[in-house]
Chain A
Amino acid sequence: MKILTTLAKTTALAAALTMSASFVAINAWAAKTDVTLGMVLEPPHLDPTAGAAAAIDEVVYANIFEGLTRIGSKGEVLPALAESWTVSDDGKVYTFKLHTGVKFHDGSDFDANDVKFSLDRARGEKSTNAQKALFKGIASVDVVDPATVKITLSAPAGNFTFNLGWGDAVIVAPESADSNKTNPVGTGPFKFSKWAKGSSIEMVKSDNYWGKPVALSKATLRFIPDPAAAVSAMLAGDVDGFANFPAPESIPQLKADPRFKVVIGSTEGETILSINNKKAPWTDIKVRQAVAHAIDRQAIIDGAMFGLGTPIGTHFAPHHPAYKADLINTYPYDLDKAKALLAEAGFPNGFKAVIKLPPPSYARRGGEIVAAQLRKIGIELEIVPVEWAQWLDQVFKKKDFDLTIVSHTEPQDINIYARKDYYFQYSSDTFNKIMTDLNLATDQAARYKLMGDAQTLITKEAVNGYMFELAKAGVWNAKLKGMWENAPVQATDLTGVSWAE
């Protein structure tokens, strides 16, 4: 009797709409020091050094775990556990001066040995780190004294301190490293308190934090996967906000409500139509170019995201200075051209294929629009919705797919095109060479030039269908201060969050 439930749900929603206004007014007078934020996905575990899921970082980054450096709200590199650092003239030796008097949440002291342990663990043979590439350039990590660490690189690396700011590079203690998945112990201003599986994670203010203490006494992250439930949770005041609201269609409604603040920011999420480059007929560049010509980006942004998002022509964040904006015109929307290319590739009547879509609305709705657009050039897509676990298994691991839609939210992640056996299976020696050069380059102009070359190459080869940069639709209580506007890394940084009087 699903229909009855729907009816009940909608009535409940309507009731919530009318009643919530009065409830929230009553709740808001006391000065609050706790916050409850909604999140779409529940993390599989809480160890950021052992998993690729963005949801892990969205819970623990900067709140529970800290690295030597950290990335700020504008994408800048800030000191964290390292007070300062110096770089040798040849760019190969980094000497980090650490904060002293820092304690882990379990009471043990933090010192240079923990740094060595963490980095050696992350880059070691048995490492399960999802971003091992970040540590590839490290030749050795040496403890100079308890408050000084010397990291020697095999070659100069332009963005080494940025890499150390990733959630995957946080510092953990040898005693607790193995149990961080369920009981994360870090050095951050919040300590983990409890995890009600399937419902929420709670963290409380850490009393012996070494740095500036946080304003909040408690923070709860509630997992609300259903967009409709997210809307009602927001309206009913069950949550104080969403760092990233999952229902873009409700944004105008929330914007019009004076109780809420809506901030549309940028993310590092390149949302792309990923193509299996090693599976026929997608091996043919003409087929991929035909797809690129058949995609109408604005229609996808309007239809799937209700206008939130910036069209992109390559795999790069449009707000980055090295972004090549003109690449968007490489394959203008042109159905005749697309059909001609398909015919040249030997498919004058098109063909059938499968598109696998993970749960977020950018994928499910975007996929429906992409399917309609490709149908116009004769490519009939069978839509297969999958859950994230299935997606990771079938698409990401087994590469059993034709097309999929996913948002790549890691910062500056164009280097995934150089990874061996990455799920879309692109391989190009030219591209690998550009990436090697980029890793060695330290001069900014040279780095930007190489980033530009990389973007141009993958766009020319139409590796994937480049659709749009995900917008960060932040919605929170108008009295909540200090939430991030943009999402330069996957994080829900609560360190600067407080309630206005």
Chain B
Amino acid sequence: MSAPLIEQLDAPETWRDVAKKALHNRSFLTGLIITTIILALAIISFFWTPWSITDLDISLKLKKPSLEHWFGTDHFGRDIFSMIMVGARNSIAVALVAVGIGVLFGVPIGCWAAAKGGYADEVLMRTNDVIFAFPALLSAVMITAIFGPGAINAILAIGIFNIPVFARISRGAALSIWPREFIMAAEVAGKGKIRITVEHILPNIINLLLVQGTIQFSLGILAEAGLSYVGLGTQPPMSSWGRMLNEAQTMMSFAPHMAIFPGLAIVVTVLGLNLLGDGLRDVLDPRLRRER
């Protein structure tokens, strides 16, 4: 197995291979199932929730979990299960857009830096380091405190700190692709740097981005919950897991269900996404493939 090794490594995996490997990866499967359930709850919440979360019926307040209210009700008489469904929608939306911002700006910056090299690379990546040096969540608190609390500002604040993450990872990955023979071939064939990046670099780094995206996604959900917990994130009547936790705080002693369920929702979702991310890396990452 001397010469053919390289051939084997670079031989494109078919989707069937990937799928087969995925089905045998336990953490990927568990993560996928959890994520799908949360996603399904979020999507269903657009059309239906067991109870309305905007009509408050104070007379139903602080009911313990029952068949009628699976997770009980909160201090305004709202059904906690319904709020968690809508909260899932909110968390996913915020995290998705935040990751989107990171990808949209970070990936082009990273790829450009890798393609250009030299002075531009240096400037971009050092700027990146500066942004990295800020504690992300604290800075997000600062941004929302200045520009006012609300879902949009929370998304922007979380998104901004996703940019350097994606810039760095795509630059690193792209740099490892650039010296490869097929890129040289493309250069010889007269393709420009932009075209090479789009046609050859991106397809080769997309798996890495997907894995990182999943992880950033779960961090985004945590960040949104954190911001909402301190009152700077999503505002009522929209439901948010972080704010539910905050509201539950003073009622812990007599209505623990108010804190337990949103807390569980955050833990389970973040766990699911991290498992999914781990699994995806096992399945997709070429570097890991080599080691196996």
Select from chain A the residue with minimum beta-carbon distance to B225.
A3
Q: A249-B75, A303-B77, A372-B55 are in contact. Are A10 and B252 (CB under 8 A)?
A: yes
Q: Is B36 an interface residue (CB 8 A)?
A: no
Contact of B253 among A9, A253, A368 (CB under 8 A): A253
Contact A302 B58 (CB under 8 A): yes
Q: Is A385 an interface residue (CB 8 A)?
A: yes
Q: Is A375 an interface residue (CB 8 A)?
A: yes
Please measure, in the bound complex, the distance between the C-alpha atom of A247 and the C-alpha atom of B250, giving whole angstroms: 7
Contact of B222 among A3, A13, A247 (CB under 8 A): A3
Contact A384 B56 (CB under 8 A): no
**A358 CB to closest chain B CB, in angstroms?**
12
Contact string against B for A residues 357-387, beta-carbon threshold 8 Å, 1 for contact and 0 otherwise: 0000000010011011101100000111100
Please measure, in the bound complex, the distance between the C-alpha atom of A369 and the C-alpha atom of B78, giving whole angstroms: 11
**B272 CB to closest chain A CB, in angstroms?**
15
Point out the residues of chain B lying under 8 angstroms from A382, CB to CB. 235
Please measure, in the bound complex, the distance between the C-alpha atom of A13 and the C-alpha atom of B235, giving whole angstroms: 27
Contact A303 B75 (CB under 8 A): yes
**B129 CB to closest chain A CB, in angstroms?**
22
Q: Is B266 an interface residue (CB 8 A)?
A: yes
Contact string against A for B residues 128-151, beta-carbon threshold 8 Å, 1 for contact and 0 otherwise: 000000000100000000001100
A-contacting 9-mer, from B2-10, B177-185, B226-234: B226-234
Q: Is B237 an interface residue (CB 8 A)?
A: yes
Contact of A13 among B149, B230, B252 (CB under 8 A): B252
Q: Is B61 an interface residue (CB 8 A)?
A: yes
Please report which residues of chain B, range 235-260, place their CB below 8 angstroms from some CB of chain A when the two chains form the complex.
Answer: 235-237, 242, 245, 249-254, 259
Please measure, in the bound complex, the distance between the C-alpha atom of A9 and the C-alpha atom of B249, giving whole angstroms: 9
Contact of A250 among B59, B237, B250 (CB under 8 A): B250
Q: A1-B222, A1-B226, A3-B225 are in contact. Are A375 and B231 (CB under 8 A)?
A: no
Contact string against A for B residues 76-99, beta-carbon threshold 8 Å, 1 for contact and 0 otherwise: 110000000000000000000000
Q: Is A52 an interface residue (CB 8 A)?
A: no
Contact B235 A383 (CB under 8 A): yes
Contact B148 A384 (CB under 8 A): yes
Point out the residues of chain B lying under 8 angstroms from A253, CB to CB. 253-254
Please report which residues of chain A, range 1-57, place their CB below 8 angstroms from some CB of chain B when the two chains form the complex.
Answer: 1-3, 6-7, 9-10, 13-14, 17
Point out the residues of chain A lying under 8 angstroms from B226, CB to CB. 1-3
Contact A228 B249 (CB under 8 A): yes
Please report which residues of chain B, range 32-61, place their CB below 8 angstroms from some CB of chain A when the two chains form the complex.
Answer: 54-56, 58-59, 61
Select from chain B the residue with minimum beta-carbon distance to A7.
B263
Q: Is A258 an interface residue (CB 8 A)?
A: no
Please measure, in the bound complex, the distance between the C-alpha atom of A302 and the C-alpha atom of B222, giving whole angstroms: 32
Q: A2-B229, A249-B75, A372-B237 are in contact. Are A303 and B254 (CB under 8 A)?
A: no
Please measure, in the bound complex, the distance between the C-alpha atom of A227 and the C-alpha atom of B251, giving whole angstroms: 10
**B228 CB to closest chain A CB, in angstroms?**
9
Please measure, in the bound complex, the distance between the C-alpha atom of A7 and the C-alpha atom of B237, giving whole angstroms: 25
Point out the residues of chain A lying under 8 angstroms from B149, CB to CB. 384-385
Contact B250 A6 (CB under 8 A): no
Please measure, in the bound complex, the distance between the C-alpha atom of A249 and the C-alpha atom of B259, giving whole angstroms: 15
Contact A371 B225 (CB under 8 A): no
Q: Is A107 an interface residue (CB 8 A)?
A: no
Contact of A252 among B230, B245, B254 (CB under 8 A): B254
Contact B137 A1 (CB under 8 A): yes
Please measure, in the bound complex, the distance between the C-alpha atom of A384 and the C-alpha atom of B237, giving whole angstroms: 11
Q: Is A322 an interface residue (CB 8 A)?
A: no
**B268 CB to closest chain A CB, in angstroms?**
12
Contact B250 A249 (CB under 8 A): yes
Contact B235 A303 (CB under 8 A): no
Select from chain A the residue with minimum beta-carbon distance to B228.
A2
Q: Is A458 an interface residue (CB 8 A)?
A: no
Please report which residues of chain B, range 104-153, place their CB below 8 angstroms from some CB of chain A when the two chains form the complex.
Answer: 137, 148-149
Q: Is A285 an interface residue (CB 8 A)?
A: no
Point out the residues of chain B lying under 8 angstroms from A10, CB to CB. 249, 252, 259
Please measure, in the bound complex, the distance between the C-alpha atom of A369 and the C-alpha atom of B75, giving whole angstroms: 11
Point out the residues of chain B lying under 8 angstroms from A369, CB to CB. 56, 58, 76
Contact B56 A372 (CB under 8 A): yes
Select from chain B the residue with minimum beta-carbon distance to A298.
B58
Contact A385 B253 (CB under 8 A): no
Contact of A249 among B54, B55, B148, B251 (CB under 8 A): B251
Point out the residues of chain B lying under 8 angstroms from A204, CB to CB. none
Select from chain B the residue with minimum beta-carbon distance to A252.
B254
Please measure, in the bound complex, the distance between the C-alpha atom of A252 and the C-alpha atom of B62, giving whole angstroms: 14
**A451 CB to closest chain B CB, in angstroms?**
32
Contact A371 B236 (CB under 8 A): yes
Contact A375 B54 (CB under 8 A): yes
Contact B56 A299 (CB under 8 A): yes
Contact of B230 among A2, A227, A371, A373 (CB under 8 A): A2
8 smallest beta-carbon distances between A and B, as pairs: A2-B226, A228-B249, A303-B58, A372-B56, A299-B58, A247-B250, A302-B58, A228-B250
A-B CB contact pairs (8 Å), 28 listed: A2-B137, A2-B225, A2-B229, A2-B230, A3-B225, A3-B263, A3-B266, A6-B249, A9-B249, A14-B252, A227-B250, A228-B250, A231-B250, A247-B250, A249-B251, A250-B251, A252-B254, A253-B253, A302-B58, A303-B56, A303-B75, A306-B75, A365-B76, A369-B76, A372-B54, A372-B237, A385-B149, A385-B235
- Residues of A in contact with B (beta carbons under 8 Å apart): 1-3, 6-7, 9-10, 13-14, 17, 227-228, 231, 247, 249-250, 252-253, 299, 302-303, 306, 365, 368-369, 371-373, 375-376, 382-385
* Apart from A3-B267, A13-B253: 15 A-B pairs, beta carbons within 8 A: A1-B137, A1-B222, A3-B229, A7-B263, A10-B252, A17-B253, A228-B250, A249-B75, A253-B253, A299-B58, A303-B58, A303-B61, A369-B56, A383-B235, A385-B149
